[in-house]
Amino acid sequence: MIMSSKNFFEIYALDKNSRARMGEIITLHGKIRTPAFVPVGTGATIKSLTPEEVGNCGIDVFFVNTYHMLFRPGPAVIEKFGGLHKFTGWDKPLMTDSGGFQIFSLGERNERKNPPKEEQLIRVTDRGAYFKSFWDGKTVFLEPRDSIKTQQVLGADIMMAFDECTFYPIKKKYAKKAMERTHRWAKICLEQKRKGKKSQALYGIVQGSVFKDLRVASAKFISLLPFDGLAIGSVANSQEPRSKVFSVLDWTMPILYPTTKPIHFLGIGEVEDIFLSVERGVDSFDCVAPTRLGRMGWIFSKREGLAKKFRYDITKSQFTTDKKSPEIGCQCPTCQNFSRGYLNHLFRNRELLAYRLASLHNLYFFGSLMGKIRDSIKKGKFLKTKKEWLE
Amino acid sequence: MIMSSKNFFEIYALDKNSRARMGEIITLHGKIRTPAFVPVGTGATIKSLTPEEVGNCGIDVFFVNTYHMLFRPGPAVIEKFGGLHKFTGWDKPLMTDSGGFQIFSLGERNERKNPPKEEQLIRVTDRGAYFKSFWDGKTVFLEPRDSIKTQQVLGADIMMAFDECTFYPIKKKYAKKAMERTHRWAKICLEQKRKGKKSQALYGIVQGSVFKDLRVASAKFISLLPFDGLAIGSVANSQEPRSKVFSVLDWTMPILYPTTKPIHFLGIGEVEDIFLSVERGVDSFDCVAPTRLGRMGWIFSKREGLAKKFRYDITKSQFTTDKKSPEIGCQCPTCQNFSRGYLNHLFRNRELLAYRLASLHNLYFFGSLMGKIRDSIKKGKFLKTKKEWLE
């Protein structure tokens, strides 16, 4: 071990030519090997897959959305089961978000340029956010303390602070206001965190949209608070221009990286983005890409000559009679047992097995990509591996 | 072994107090332990499950619907893969039907009382059936020889003769006409069968609707032809009054049973029906119940006090906080790993995992029920087991 942070994060290898680092986050439910890909199990399930299958893909942790848990099935139900681990049957590490992302994305259209109004889907005050439930339209108020209380009931190993997510494009004045609220709320979240179990870690979230001075200020503020880990928020919502996404990392990582706390990049997950994030010192990222795109028929692949980089659409007619494995050489159960032609047939007939087999392959693809990245950092060959993949 | 039929069906045990018998159907792709439950994989997939999972449920064979294969993906595609076994990845025995059931059920509403007309969805002649494709509305003609040719391309271990299915209620005059066609077609099917691979067995189908004299005549006619097995058709379409279903068996089994050919009852599959069929000498039956009802949230169960016999609806609110296994003591992967509450949550949120876990449990339930039935016949305790289950 090179460095450790409060017995929570241990760093085993540092790349000489970049900020890439390899380590482990240690939780009550086991270790998360970093850099880690964190798939999203919105409704307390990685859609179509069992926990056992997810684990067999080399995935150590997944993300559950607190917003969904608030309503379906509700924290009281999860509490009766003794937390998400027992509820889902997944006994490895879990992460929950604060609920904020879904709440603020509700108000995105009106919110981003004008001050929010009463009749809109959400109204943000300095205390928290009023929003209309996605399911029944009832107005609900969520404040930072509630978010953490809920996450404490859910029992995830890693919780996220309640922040005000902003969306692009945005006026700087509003971005600053949202950032300042996020900073005030960060302290309230930490206060509530101290009342709960020590085994649950809490990550603080850096905001500031696409403005350098705000991001720098936020990174300084959040990194000085006693969070267990750090996260970078509101930048990978796919509305920002791609150039901005990594500018944000370039501005903030010089401040966050030296803390030796694990750093999570929220909402990142395409192959290229993973390499660019790891290179800049990111330890984990979450993304719906492998499962959501899988359910649409996209198969992740390292094959050359694909029109779309790193994936192809298996529902196309050219695959109807293709006997080959979805990804030649892949060791996942899908590629070991089924052909492109059969998957094409299943997708064209909307057979449930289609979504499963594609999600499984894609998750395995990301799980083994992360294994290769960790290995390359250990061997001092990260940039070589990055080049092999991206060129 | 007590008796065998052309090295295709071996009978190992006969019940002293009923016609129940235990044996094995021997195919190129392995053995089918009888009495056997045959789940239905309409589109060349048992919906939501992998072949491996199906096999682990104690299921030796499944049914693929030729009608669906005609259009999706089409026999030419299956031929390129070398048959359904290679296409689906299921290397155990497979059965295909003739395509007739789906074709004739299209014309069911008009057909059953009046002679069919040009403008209807189907038109039956002595040569075969014209019908409009479910997918694109194009008129297609299917005759007995085509049906067998298609099944030969599909490569199932057990094929079904092309018969004219009838529906209830029906005029006797039409039932007789349909039966006579079925008999003529039976010979044409056998002729085509001889031109194919010897390893593919062909079952003849007894028709005659709910009329005793017709059923007796049909059983005599079909049982004298050189089919490898016998099937009883058009009676378990759930339109016939239940009393009629087993009357048909009582009329026909005295004629079919002594042939020592395996006997299949088409479309049967609820728990009680299985016991009543096995008691009368049936060796196999196919039904969509475990998987279709599973996808609707019905969990098969031997639990006492259920409103509906042998199953309960896990989507009901009473299960929201229920930590128990779906079926206490069940060894299936669903019951070993997940609670009623979690399944309730998955169903209420239409999560894909719900359909999978319920289908898996239900198939395991039927697979192990058949294991218990075979064991009880071997031990001379079939009627005792039947009583235990049904009283």
What is residue A42's predicted lDDT score, i.e. its pLDDT? 95
Percent of chain A past pLDDT 90, that is, above it, reads 81
B380 lies in some domain? no
- Check CB contact of A85 with chain B, cutoff 8 Å: no
Asked whether the beta carbons of B348 and B364 are under 8 A apart, the reply is no
Do A237 and A119 reside in the same domain of the chain?
yes
Instruction: Decide the pairing of beta strands A122-124 and A129-132.
Output: antiparallel
Q: Which of B97, B228, B273, B283 is catalytic?
A: B97
- Residues A49 and A357: their CA atoms lie apart, in Å, by 9
Do B303 and B341 reside in the same domain of the chain?
yes
A306 lies in some domain? yes
Average pLDDT, chain A: 93
3-state secondary structure of B264: strand
User: Any residues with CB less than 8 A from the CB of B254 and at least 6 apart, and which?
Assistant: none
A369 lies in some domain? no
A258 lies in some domain? yes
Do B160 and B216 reside in the same domain of the chain?
yes
- Check CB contact of A318 with chain B, cutoff 8 Å: no
A8-15 long-range contacts (CB < 8 A, ≥24 apart) are A8/A201, A8/A228, A8/A229, A8/A262, A9/A34, A9/A228, A9/A229, A9/A260, A9/A261, A9/A262, A9/A283, A11/A260, A12/A378, A13/A377, A13/A378, A13/A380, A14/A377, A15/A377, A15/A380, A15/A382, A15/A383
Do B246 and B178 reside in the same domain of the chain?
yes
Of residues A166, A43, A162, A161, the one with CA closest to residue A104: A166
**A264-317 residue pLDDT tens:** 999 988 899 999 999 999 999 999 999 999 999 999 999 999 989 999 999 999
- Residues B371 and B12: their CA atoms lie apart, in Å, by 14
**Residue A262 in this model has a pLDDT that exceeds 60:** yes
B382 lies in some domain? no
Q: CATH number for the domain including A271?
A: 3.20.20.105
Its sign, for the CA torsion A328, A332, A336, A341, is negative
Check CB contact under 8 Å for A345 and B89. Answer: no
Percent of chain A as helix, strand, coil, to the nearest 5: 45, 20, 40
Q: What pLDDT tens digit does each residue of chain B (391 aa) get?
A: 777 777 899 999 999 999 999 999 999 999 999 999 999 999 999 999 999 999 999 999 999 999 999 999 999 999 999 999 999 999 999 999 998 888 887 665 444 445 554 456 778 889 998 888 878 888 888 999 999 999 999 999 999 999 998 888 889 999 999 999 999 999 999 999 999 999 999 999 999 999 999 999 999 999 999 999 999 997 766 566 777 889 999 999 999 999 999 999 999 888 999 999 999 999 999 999 999 999 999 999 999 999 899 999 999 999 999 999 999 999 999 999 999 999 999 999 999 999 999 999 999 999 999 999 999 999 999 999 999 999 8
Domain coverage including residue A336 = 297-363
3-state secondary structure of B203: strand
- Residues A319 and B79: their CA atoms lie apart, in Å, by 15
Of residues A60, A37, A51, A42, the one with CA closest to residue A99: A42
Do B105 and B238 reside in the same domain of the chain?
yes
3-state secondary structure of B21: strand
Residue A119 CA to its chain's centroid (Å): 31
B91 lies in some domain? yes
A375 lies in some domain? no
Confidence band, pLDDT 50/70/90 cuts, at residue A86: very high
Residue B373 has phi, psi (to 5 degrees) of -65, -45
A43 CB-contact burial (10 Å; exposed 0-12 / middle 13-18 / buried 19+): buried
- Residue A93, preceding peptide bond in cis (omega within 30° of 0): no
**A173-206 residue pLDDT tens:** 999 999 999 999 999 999 999 999 999 999 999 9
Do B277 and B332 reside in the same domain of the chain?
no
Do B203 and B329 reside in the same domain of the chain?
no
Told to judge if B163 belongs to the known catalytic residues of this protein, a careful annotator would answer no
Check CB contact under 8 Å for B87 and A51. Answer: no
A80-83 long-range contacts (CB < 8 A, ≥24 apart) are A80/B321, A80/B323, A80/B341, A81/B321, A81/B323, A81/B339, A81/B341, A81/B342, A82/A155, A83/A153, A83/A154, A83/A155
Asked whether the beta carbons of A68 and A135 are under 8 A apart, the reply is no
DSSP state letter for B7: T
What is residue B135's predicted lDDT score, i.e. its pLDDT? 80
Distance from the Cα of A379 to chain B's closest Cα (Å) equals: 38
- Residues B151 and B157: their CA atoms lie apart, in Å, by 9
Do B77 and B157 reside in the same domain of the chain?
yes
What is residue B113's predicted lDDT score, i.e. its pLDDT? 45
Residues of A taking part in catalysis = 97, 286
| Overall domain count for chain B | 2
Q: HSE on the CB side for A204, CA within 13 Å?
A: 27
- Check CB contact of B77 with chain A, cutoff 8 Å: yes
- Check CB contact of A88 with chain B, cutoff 8 Å: yes
Instruction: Give the full edge-to-edge strand order of the sheet including A158-160.
Output: A36-39, A284-287, A263-265, A229-232, A201-206, A158-160, A94-96, A62-64
Does this model's pTM top 0.90? yes
Contacts of B357 in chain A (CB under 8 A): 50
